[in-house]
Structure 1
Amino acid sequence: MSVTLVTIIEHPIAQKYLERSGLNHAISVAEQALTLATQRGLDADTATKAALLHDIGHYEWYTDGTWNYDLYRQNDIHAIKGAERAHKLLIRLGEEPERAKEIALAVLLHTDSYLPPGTINRTPLQQLVHDADTLEEQPGGLHHYEKIPFEEAVNRLHALDSVVHRFNNLPRLASEN
């Protein structure tokens, strides 16, 4: 686990896109993802990275410096843009290519807002990111408006990185391998 959540948020590209789409929401979804990953026996590192980056494609839906939720709902392709951005960012930061692809696909398929209903058959990781995002949603997209000081964001991600590191280093039962 060389690429951490803090490493991701300290990159200017992540800051640009995640601050605009709701950094507090992204971190809250990553925190939910850790809980769900531990409950479901999934890789916490991959889950939290995918959850943190799940809305990195939202940047386009700003008008006069504020989030335009109505415009977003009409024209949403944020998951498509986000998957590409997440993949490029993770590769640039040194993430393993296979893991970067898995995370990008979870970003792509965390929502079906750009697809006909009922057309997604998600992997467990993709479903986890979808579920974590759903747990943090608020009516009218209010979750995208909540602000958080950058220092607090880094502190929360540092704490999350520490828990992920401890969780991923726990010995697994033979049945889990």
Structure 2
Amino acid sequence: MSEHTTSFAASFTLERNSFGKLVLTNALGERFEGVVPVRAFPIQSPEDGVSLVNLDGEEVGWVDALAEVAQPAQTLIREALATREFMPVILSIDAVTSFSTPCTWTVQTDRGKTEFVLRGDEDIRRIGKEHALLIADTHGIQYLVRDQFALNATSKKILDRFM
């Protein structure tokens, strides 16, 4: 953390300015406009370790546990994270056009039904210890499978052909 970093255990305020940007004021009265929250571990521990960085990319605040941040700051941080992060969670794999790549996948996500093109088997990566997968499409969108073994039988069968 830099010399300007503020922990949420210290006195601070977080608000939106008239342009909709987050403004952090630390215990010393220093104001940082355009602060952006960034999760340290977005998949394994999304509720823990959130850094607040200024426009220069310097950390000016740190949140150990998002649930412990008082309102309305917690809501402001969550809203900012939601607009920044776009990672649909795959709930089921309905079909693929081919078992060779590139191929089009039809999936159900937490945001609805969608299709994407898988360029190659290497675009499916194992992450963490909990059987999670990240699948990248040709546009760079990352899809998350929280637990490959919790998927339905059809989804597992399709996924096994690519692993």
TM-score using structure 1 length: 0.25
Query: Which of the pair has the greater relative contact order for Cα pairs under 8 Å at 6+ separation?
Result: 1
> Counting helix residues as a fraction of each chain, which structure ranks higher?
1
TM-score using structure 2 length: 0.27
Larger Rg: 2
> Counting strand residues as a fraction of each chain, which structure ranks higher?
2
